[in-house]
Structure 1
């Protein structure tokens, strides 16, 4: 069902700028299902990709959305690699970023990863970390760990090929993102380089920017599903079955949703690059990512922008998927490999959004005055 030639997703660039992405998207298309090839492509992209907050945030999000529109799993491979490079750049530390990288910041019940200072002042990590996607294939990762003194958390750069790192092979039964299994990694006195100090990982504006980068990937998946629908209607019309009013109404609603969502991302990216998104030192969520700190008109939280963007994109994805599946029915889900894979991959990926819990965070920030209305 998908168009044979991958097409970029436009957020703010002019068409001629987007054309530069086409050879890369062809390369991604050729590597679909081949994770080592996708990781190699991610490494290549990382050498020239823009970083958030440095003047080309919209172009970064176009890149992420465009790759994900080709294949959701490809976007799921690329996004954490670029995020890790951005985190390391923002921290100012010097470390070898050769190879493919990930970001592991999840917590899980009964698991704890601890950072301990050695006699010579360096750090080692011991314990377990859940939800470590592709850990067996990655070269390095930015990983959050608990500090011994006060229980706070900090980020560390870790060589995943070092002795003492053991990545489990997860029982990954999901039909979505089948090639991106996320399992537990165990660490036994593994050397680690501090990245930014205690709490820095969560309090930096880049934490919010990274969350919006994930939303750009979700957007790319929604655009691809919408393109699938439009292509199906076009083929049906060519075969003498003109779309009825219900199908046209669905396509019209999808167009409204995507245009509004893309406009929101373009505006947010522009504000980030102009330094207008936050006045003064930004607040963020706490170390567990659950509770917003104080915010006001004079000192807004970067995380409120992330919650707005992520919530808006997540709602758009789910509505687009619903409209398309209602109109196309079970046939393509059952018999069209590319369409079925896209739907399954995107349905799992979007569950990184915490739905009403994220809206509750945003509501708390809004109540404290972090709003433009």
Structure 2
């Protein structure tokens, strides 16, 4: 179901949207959503993002990659799961704008601008026993439809469209990027996602039954086209950074509530500051590479993601060491950010591209 409030975007600029964002209200909405433990789409939190203009006018406006990273990080700081749905929406809007033909994209981009349409990007195939992978099929009337299953579909039950990776029926070749109407003929299996981490992202199993395909990329592996693919990964890393910021906020609040901090606690704070500054610098370097469509954009953004993931783990480890179990046993936002991040980092395995990068460097004498 879509939010019952009427979205009224206030501005197309990222700075104005951040000013309009009521972080306290969004945080309270996600607190309520987390207590439900049902895994439904976070309608109230999403509606508040819409009202501030983050989903509509800001997304359709040609915001810079740096501005987008700031928006995702800010939402992730409020709630990691909501930030995941939001970064997927920004990824989808960018793909709609730069890759889909203008005749198909025009009406949907107008709907995005009005805050009336949300988009996801769904790529994960089911494991054995979870259903047949999604396949594209031509009907007798010449239309293209989608059948089968995708998993980890963030925003399922709330987004209207999704870019889905699928193969043609009986075709063992590379996957195609398809733009699909997921508002109908797509059944959300919310029981599939049983964990607590990232529960608010509604990253469910979705079963397609003749779902209408609005556009299919003419070339294979269109999702990997640069610099858009690098931008996708960087927005994800900005969401990680936002969640880590929330953990740092919690640590600082806990230590400031004490009469005095020990030297070990002061050292821990310095470590947190260093990790946050490292994330700042890597996000900036990645944004510069994406904005310039640099030749090394894939390597730069990979290194940024690897480094930011390491910084997040450093922050989580320091929080564990300094705070102990009490804040995590009591629940609340720092505990939710921690469990969300631990799950979220596992969903993006970076070892294989790191190995490839290392192999390329070894094969390049003098590099």
Measured against the shorter chain, the TM-score band is 0.7 to 0.9
- The aligned counterpart of 2:54 is 45
User: Which of 220, 230, 236 is the equivalent residue of 1:214?
Assistant: 236
Q: Which residue of 1 aligns with 2:312?
A: 317
1:89 aligns with 2:97: yes
> Does residue 258 of the first structure (1) align with residue 276 of the second (2)?
yes
Mapped to 1, the partners of 2:84 and 2:237 lie a distance apart of 11
Shift of 1:55: 6.7
Alpha-carbon distance, 1:120 to partner: 5.0
Asked whether the 8 Å contact 1:314–1:353 carries over to 2, the reply is no
Given that 1:113 and 1:145 are in contact with CA atoms closer than 8 Å, whether structure 2 keeps it comes out as yes
Normalization by structure 1: what TM-score? 0.79
- Map 1:45-194 to 2 at 5 A: 45-49=54-58, 56-93=64-101, 94-95=104-105, 96=108, 98-110=116-128, 111-148=132-169, 149=171, 151-162=173-184, 164-194=185-215
Q: Compute the TM-score of the two structures, normalised by the length of structure 2.
A: 0.81
- For residues 200-349 of structure 1, the aligned pairs below 5 Å read 200-236=222-258, 240=259, 242-275=260-293, 277-278=294-295, 300=296, 302-349=297-344
Report the alpha carbon displacement of residue 182 of structure 1 after superposing the two structures with TM.
2.7
In 2, the alpha carbon distance for the partners of 1:18 and 1:203 equals 29
Cα distance in 2, alignment partners of residues 51 and 370 from structure 1: 44
Contact 2:81 2:200 in 1 (8 A): yes
Structure 1 gaps, min length 5: 1-16, 279-299
Shift of 1:336: 4.2
Tell me if the contact between 1:117 and 1:124 (Cα under 8 Å) persists in the aligned partners: yes
SS at match of 2:156: coil
For the residues of structure 1 that align with 2:338 and 2:18, how far apart are their CA atoms?
A: 24
> What residue in structure 2 maps to residue 366 of structure 1?
361
- C-alpha contact (below 8 Å) 2:186/2:209 kept by paired residues: yes
SS of the residue corresponding to residue 124 of structure 1 reads: strand
CA shift for structure 1 position 144: 1.0
Instruction: Report deviation, 1:62.
Output: 0.7
Do the aligned partners of 1:72 and 1:346 also contact (CA within 8 Å) in 2? yes
Aligned to 1:29: 27
Q: Distance in 2 between matches of 1:369 and 1:259?
A: 31
**2: CA distance between counterparts of 1:177 and 1:366?**
35
Q: Residue 77 of structure 2 contacts residue 246 of structure 2 at CA under 8 Å; is this kept in 1?
A: yes
Question: How far apart are the structure 1 equivalents of 2:22 and 2:342?
Answer: 22
Which residue does the alignment assign to 1:285?
none
**Which piece of structure 1 moves more, 309-318 or 68-77?**
68-77
Q: Which has the higher helix share?
A: 2
Secondary structure of the residue aligned to 1:130 is: strand
CA deviation profile, 1:327-362 (whole Å, cap 9, x unmatched): 111111111422211211121112223153342233
Q: Cα RMSD (Å) of the superposition?
A: 2.6
Contact 1:106 1:130 in 2 (8 A): yes
1:166 is displaced (CA, Å) by 2.0
SS at 1:179's partner residue? helix
- Contact 1:40/1:100 (<8 A) preserved: no
Shift of 1:314: 0.6
Partner Cα distance (1:365, 1:22) in 2: 44
